[in-house]
Amino acid sequence: MPYLSPALNVMTSAARKAGRKLIRDFGEVENLQISLKGPADFVTVADRRTERILIEELQKARPGYPILTEESGVVEGPDKSHRFIIDPLDGTTNFLHGIPHFAISIALEREGQLVSGVIYNPIVDEMFTAERSHGAYLNNKRMRVATRKELKTCLSATGIPFLGRGTEEEHASFMKELRSVVEVTPGIRRFGSAALDLAWVAAGRYDAFWEHGLKPWDLAAGMLMVREAGGVVTDLDGRDRVLQTGDVLVANETLHPQLLKLLKAAGR
Protein backbone atom coordinates (compact mmCIF):
# COMPACT_ATOMS: atom_id res chain seq x y z
CA MET A 1 0.00 0.00 0.00
CA PRO A 2 1.23 3.54 -0.73
CA TYR A 3 2.19 5.97 1.99
CA LEU A 4 -0.73 8.39 2.31
CA SER A 5 0.22 11.54 4.19
CA PRO A 6 -2.54 13.67 5.72
CA ALA A 7 -2.01 16.27 2.98
CA LEU A 8 -2.21 13.69 0.18
CA ASN A 9 -5.36 12.27 1.73
CA VAL A 10 -6.89 15.76 1.63
CA MET A 11 -5.87 16.16 -2.02
CA THR A 12 -7.26 12.82 -3.20
CA SER A 13 -10.53 13.43 -1.36
CA ALA A 14 -10.86 16.87 -2.97
CA ALA A 15 -10.13 15.41 -6.42
CA ARG A 16 -12.74 12.67 -6.00
CA LYS A 17 -15.41 15.11 -4.83
CA ALA A 18 -14.74 17.49 -7.73
CA GLY A 19 -14.51 14.53 -10.11
CA ARG A 20 -18.03 13.35 -9.32
CA LYS A 21 -19.43 16.68 -10.49
CA LEU A 22 -17.15 16.71 -13.51
CA ILE A 23 -18.55 13.34 -14.60
CA ARG A 24 -22.07 14.78 -14.52
CA ASP A 25 -20.93 17.84 -16.47
CA PHE A 26 -19.26 15.60 -19.05
CA GLY A 27 -22.60 13.88 -19.60
CA GLU A 28 -24.21 17.25 -20.33
CA VAL A 29 -21.32 18.87 -22.16
CA GLU A 30 -23.46 20.12 -25.06
CA ASN A 31 -25.44 22.28 -22.66
CA LEU A 32 -22.47 23.84 -20.85
CA GLN A 33 -21.79 27.53 -21.23
CA ILE A 34 -18.45 28.12 -22.96
CA SER A 35 -16.29 31.24 -23.11
CA LEU A 36 -12.88 32.05 -24.56
CA LYS A 37 -9.75 33.34 -22.83
CA GLY A 38 -7.88 33.43 -26.13
CA PRO A 39 -8.14 32.16 -29.73
CA ALA A 40 -8.24 28.51 -28.64
CA ASP A 41 -8.45 28.67 -24.84
CA PHE A 42 -11.86 27.38 -23.85
CA VAL A 43 -13.29 27.89 -20.39
CA THR A 44 -16.49 26.17 -19.29
CA VAL A 45 -18.79 26.28 -16.33
CA ALA A 46 -17.20 22.91 -15.49
CA ASP A 47 -13.74 24.49 -15.16
CA ARG A 48 -14.98 27.12 -12.76
CA ARG A 49 -17.21 24.78 -10.78
CA THR A 50 -14.45 22.20 -10.37
CA GLU A 51 -12.00 24.87 -9.29
CA ARG A 52 -14.47 26.19 -6.72
CA ILE A 53 -14.98 22.71 -5.23
CA LEU A 54 -11.22 22.10 -5.06
CA ILE A 55 -10.52 25.44 -3.40
CA GLU A 56 -13.31 24.92 -0.87
CA GLU A 57 -12.13 21.42 0.05
CA LEU A 58 -8.45 22.33 0.27
CA GLN A 59 -9.11 25.49 2.30
CA LYS A 60 -11.38 23.58 4.66
CA ALA A 61 -8.57 21.17 5.49
CA ARG A 62 -5.60 23.55 5.12
CA PRO A 63 -7.06 27.05 5.62
CA GLY A 64 -3.75 28.89 5.66
CA TYR A 65 -2.23 27.53 2.45
CA PRO A 66 -2.07 29.82 -0.62
CA ILE A 67 -3.42 28.26 -3.83
CA LEU A 68 -2.20 28.89 -7.38
CA THR A 69 -4.96 28.04 -9.85
CA GLU A 70 -5.35 28.21 -13.62
CA GLU A 71 -8.62 30.15 -13.65
CA SER A 72 -8.42 32.40 -10.56
CA GLY A 73 -4.69 33.02 -10.31
CA VAL A 74 -3.43 33.24 -6.72
CA VAL A 75 -5.68 32.67 -3.72
CA GLU A 76 -3.67 34.20 -0.89
CA GLY A 77 -3.04 32.56 2.49
CA PRO A 78 -0.89 33.36 5.52
CA ASP A 79 1.19 30.14 5.44
CA LYS A 80 4.11 31.09 3.19
CA SER A 81 5.90 27.74 3.50
CA HIS A 82 3.18 25.79 1.63
CA ARG A 83 1.30 26.23 -1.64
CA PHE A 84 -1.24 24.18 -3.56
CA ILE A 85 -1.02 24.30 -7.38
CA ILE A 86 -4.20 23.17 -9.11
CA ASP A 87 -5.59 22.69 -12.59
CA PRO A 88 -9.32 21.94 -12.30
CA LEU A 89 -9.63 20.57 -15.83
CA ASP A 90 -6.53 19.75 -17.84
CA GLY A 91 -7.73 18.75 -21.29
CA THR A 92 -10.65 21.16 -21.68
CA THR A 93 -10.76 20.78 -25.47
CA ASN A 94 -11.07 17.00 -25.09
CA PHE A 95 -13.80 17.51 -22.51
CA LEU A 96 -15.77 19.81 -24.84
CA HIS A 97 -15.56 17.31 -27.70
CA GLY A 98 -16.74 14.37 -25.62
CA ILE A 99 -13.31 12.75 -25.45
CA PRO A 100 -12.83 11.06 -22.05
CA HIS A 101 -9.20 12.08 -21.64
CA PHE A 102 -8.88 14.91 -19.12
CA ALA A 103 -7.85 15.26 -15.51
CA ILE A 104 -7.86 17.20 -12.27
CA SER A 105 -4.32 18.02 -11.16
CA ILE A 106 -3.26 19.06 -7.64
CA ALA A 107 0.27 19.54 -6.32
CA LEU A 108 1.58 20.67 -2.96
CA GLU A 109 4.80 22.61 -2.47
CA ARG A 110 6.60 22.87 0.86
CA GLU A 111 9.44 25.39 1.18
CA GLY A 112 9.57 25.55 -2.63
CA GLN A 113 9.83 21.77 -3.12
CA LEU A 114 7.11 19.61 -4.62
CA VAL A 115 6.09 17.09 -1.95
CA SER A 116 2.70 15.66 -2.99
CA GLY A 117 0.85 15.25 -6.28
CA VAL A 118 -2.50 13.99 -7.52
CA ILE A 119 -3.71 13.57 -11.11
CA TYR A 120 -7.22 12.15 -11.43
CA ASN A 121 -9.16 11.15 -14.52
CA PRO A 122 -12.67 10.68 -13.10
CA ILE A 123 -14.15 9.13 -16.25
CA VAL A 124 -11.96 6.02 -15.99
CA ASP A 125 -11.40 6.41 -12.22
CA GLU A 126 -7.63 6.46 -12.49
CA MET A 127 -6.03 8.16 -9.49
CA PHE A 128 -2.32 8.84 -9.92
CA THR A 129 -0.55 9.92 -6.72
CA ALA A 130 2.98 10.70 -5.62
CA GLU A 131 4.64 11.58 -2.33
CA ARG A 132 8.21 12.85 -2.16
CA SER A 133 10.56 10.00 -1.17
CA HIS A 134 7.64 7.56 -0.96
CA GLY A 135 7.07 6.68 -4.62
CA ALA A 136 4.30 7.08 -7.20
CA TYR A 137 1.13 5.01 -7.50
CA LEU A 138 -1.82 4.36 -9.79
CA ASN A 139 -4.87 3.25 -7.82
CA ASN A 140 -2.57 1.95 -5.04
CA LYS A 141 -0.25 0.04 -7.41
CA ARG A 142 3.37 1.18 -7.55
CA MET A 143 4.40 2.94 -10.78
CA ARG A 144 7.76 2.74 -12.52
CA VAL A 145 8.90 4.41 -15.71
CA ALA A 146 9.44 2.11 -18.69
CA THR A 147 12.90 0.56 -19.04
CA ARG A 148 13.36 0.73 -22.81
CA LYS A 149 16.84 1.88 -23.77
CA GLU A 150 16.74 2.55 -27.51
CA LEU A 151 14.97 5.29 -29.45
CA LYS A 152 13.79 2.75 -32.02
CA THR A 153 11.50 1.28 -29.35
CA CYS A 154 10.48 4.60 -27.73
CA LEU A 155 6.85 5.77 -27.74
CA SER A 156 6.72 9.50 -27.01
CA ALA A 157 4.00 12.03 -26.27
CA THR A 158 4.11 15.73 -27.03
CA GLY A 159 1.98 18.84 -27.22
CA ILE A 160 1.64 20.43 -30.65
CA PRO A 161 1.40 24.25 -30.90
CA PHE A 162 -2.01 25.39 -32.06
CA LEU A 163 -4.07 28.50 -32.85
CA GLY A 164 -2.93 31.44 -30.73
CA ARG A 165 -0.03 29.58 -29.14
CA GLY A 166 3.47 30.49 -30.26
CA THR A 167 4.95 32.49 -33.09
CA GLU A 168 5.44 31.32 -36.65
CA GLU A 169 9.12 30.74 -35.85
CA GLU A 170 8.25 28.66 -32.77
CA HIS A 171 5.81 26.56 -34.80
CA ALA A 172 8.49 25.94 -37.45
CA SER A 173 11.02 25.03 -34.78
CA PHE A 174 8.61 22.54 -33.22
CA MET A 175 8.07 20.88 -36.59
CA LYS A 176 11.83 20.36 -36.82
CA GLU A 177 11.77 18.73 -33.39
CA LEU A 178 8.84 16.55 -34.36
CA ARG A 179 10.53 15.45 -37.57
CA SER A 180 13.75 14.59 -35.73
CA VAL A 181 11.89 12.33 -33.28
CA VAL A 182 9.59 10.80 -35.93
CA GLU A 183 12.58 9.71 -37.97
CA VAL A 184 14.07 7.55 -35.19
CA THR A 185 11.11 6.32 -33.12
CA PRO A 186 8.10 4.08 -33.84
CA GLY A 187 5.41 6.46 -32.64
CA ILE A 188 4.37 9.82 -31.21
CA ARG A 189 1.06 10.63 -29.52
CA ARG A 190 -0.71 13.94 -28.94
CA PHE A 191 -3.63 13.29 -26.56
CA GLY A 192 -4.26 16.82 -25.30
CA SER A 193 -3.58 16.68 -21.55
CA ALA A 194 -0.05 17.42 -20.33
CA ALA A 195 -0.90 16.27 -16.81
CA LEU A 196 -1.97 12.85 -18.06
CA ASP A 197 1.01 12.69 -20.45
CA LEU A 198 3.31 13.05 -17.44
CA ALA A 199 1.31 10.56 -15.38
CA TRP A 200 1.43 8.06 -18.24
CA VAL A 201 5.23 8.37 -18.45
CA ALA A 202 5.35 7.64 -14.71
CA ALA A 203 3.12 4.62 -15.31
CA GLY A 204 5.33 3.30 -18.11
CA ARG A 205 2.69 3.76 -20.81
CA TYR A 206 4.76 6.36 -22.62
CA ASP A 207 8.55 6.26 -22.68
CA ALA A 208 8.93 10.04 -22.92
CA PHE A 209 7.12 13.37 -23.14
CA TRP A 210 8.24 16.82 -24.20
CA GLU A 211 6.49 20.15 -24.65
CA HIS A 212 7.13 23.89 -24.65
CA GLY A 213 5.35 26.77 -22.94
CA LEU A 214 3.45 24.96 -20.19
CA LYS A 215 2.28 26.48 -16.91
CA PRO A 216 3.04 25.36 -13.34
CA TRP A 217 -0.45 23.87 -12.93
CA ASP A 218 0.12 21.72 -16.05
CA LEU A 219 3.41 20.40 -14.73
CA ALA A 220 3.76 20.33 -10.96
CA ALA A 221 1.96 17.13 -9.96
CA GLY A 222 3.20 15.16 -12.98
CA MET A 223 6.83 16.20 -12.51
CA LEU A 224 6.83 14.76 -9.01
CA MET A 225 5.22 11.54 -10.25
CA VAL A 226 7.83 10.97 -12.94
CA ARG A 227 10.67 11.55 -10.48
CA GLU A 228 9.13 9.27 -7.86
CA ALA A 229 8.65 6.61 -10.57
CA GLY A 230 12.38 6.71 -11.35
CA GLY A 231 12.35 9.09 -14.31
CA VAL A 232 14.37 12.18 -15.22
CA VAL A 233 12.71 15.61 -15.47
CA THR A 234 14.43 18.66 -16.98
CA ASP A 235 13.70 21.58 -19.22
CA LEU A 236 14.84 21.38 -22.83
CA ASP A 237 18.27 22.74 -21.93
CA GLY A 238 18.77 19.89 -19.48
CA ARG A 239 18.31 22.10 -16.41
CA ASP A 240 16.14 21.76 -13.33
CA ARG A 241 14.13 24.86 -14.22
CA VAL A 242 10.95 23.36 -15.63
CA LEU A 243 8.48 25.43 -13.61
CA GLN A 244 10.40 28.60 -14.50
CA THR A 245 10.77 27.96 -18.24
CA GLY A 246 7.58 25.99 -18.92
CA ASP A 247 9.57 23.65 -21.17
CA VAL A 248 9.84 19.99 -20.20
CA LEU A 249 11.40 16.69 -21.22
CA VAL A 250 10.79 13.54 -19.20
CA ALA A 251 12.02 9.99 -19.81
CA ASN A 252 13.99 7.25 -18.11
CA GLU A 253 17.67 7.87 -17.37
CA THR A 254 18.80 6.08 -20.55
CA LEU A 255 16.45 7.67 -23.07
CA HIS A 256 16.47 11.19 -21.60
CA PRO A 257 20.00 12.18 -22.74
CA GLN A 258 19.37 10.67 -26.18
CA LEU A 259 16.18 12.68 -26.65
CA LEU A 260 17.69 15.83 -25.20
CA LYS A 261 20.55 15.66 -27.71
CA LEU A 262 18.09 15.03 -30.54
CA LEU A 263 15.83 17.93 -29.62
CA LYS A 264 18.72 20.34 -29.12
CA ALA A 265 20.10 19.39 -32.53
CA ALA A 266 16.73 20.23 -34.06
CA GLY A 267 17.45 23.87 -33.28
CA ARG A 268 15.82 24.88 -29.99
pLDDT digits (tens, 9 = 90+) for 150-160: 999 999 999 98
Rg (CA), the chain: 18
pLDDT digits (tens, 9 = 90+) for 61-96: 999 999 999 888 999 999 999 999 999 999 988 988
pLDDT digits (tens, 9 = 90+) for 43-54: 577 888 999 999
Q: Which helix (H) or strand (E) holds 259?
A: helix 255-265
pLDDT of residue 86: 98
**8-state DSSP, 153:** G
Which domains occur in the chain, in start order?
A: 6-142 (3.30.540.10), 151-265 (3.40.190.80)
Region of residue 17 (phi > 0: left; psi between -120 and 50: alpha; otherwise: beta): alpha
pLDDT < 70: residue spans in the chain? 1, 30, 32-43, 162-167, 267-268
